[in-house]
Structure 1
């Protein structure tokens, strides 16, 4: 996968300045999973909030700005491009992190298990 070198500095800055919701999801769940996630990963022209390379799974947390029409269009295009790269994207709102943290974690866990099982059931 290719990414612009200019995103490297931005991704490092974002890792140093995670939102409260990103810190909560990272420190209280993702960093403890057996599947290794990385934070603020440049992929193509985007920066993924959390990315598990082995499962090709991106987990994105959306703040209020993601409800603006321009941002919705941008997010749809981004999801399409990432999908073409073979990356599955899960999106959650910051509100979901506050109000249903365990539900968010369970959904991520379910998707990871689904991915690891693969398209065919075990014999």
Structure 2
């Protein structure tokens, strides 16, 4: 008998939103994706624009249960800060780690950003 568990990853109804976000990525997201796609970062697989619950996250590494969010100017007002806090609390409540970077840091300080992400990797893997 199949257990009745609620699906939280990549819900079908969020597919158009995920696709729309992928097709309208920011320059920082495109640049970051070039750094991590095809297991370039210590062999870890990253997915972009993955839905988790009702949220669509920028990047997700399933192996590490790690969400990477890239924040542009739109994230720096009170309403957005509150929304991002709510998102992070939900993601952490389902056992995920969340790390955030400003777009400018991704573009101008890439090695630092990648090294901070590596700190979240489980070294047992």
User: Could you say which TM-score interval applies, normalised by the shorter chain?
Assistant: 0.7 to 0.9
Structure 1 distance, partners of 2:76, 2:17, is 23
> Displacement, 1:46?
0.3
8 Å contact kept, 1:40–1:48: yes
Structure 2, unpaired ranges of 5+: 1-6
User: Which of 9, 29, 45 lines up with 2:16 in the alignment?
Assistant: 9
- Once residues 107 and 15 of structure 2 are traced to their aligned partners in structure 1, the CA distance between those partners, rounded to angstroms, is 29
| TM superposition score normalised by structure 1 | 0.86
Which structure features the higher share of helix residues? Answer: 1
Aligned-CA RMSD value = 1.5
Aligned counterpart for 2:105 among listed residues 83, 87, 96: 96
Corresponding residue number in structure 2 for 1:121: none
- Structure 2-normalised TM-score? 0.85
Count of residue pairs the alignment pairs up: 115
| Unaligned runs of at least 5 residues, structure 1 | 119-123
Q: Distance in 2 between matches of 1:35 and 1:79?
A: 22
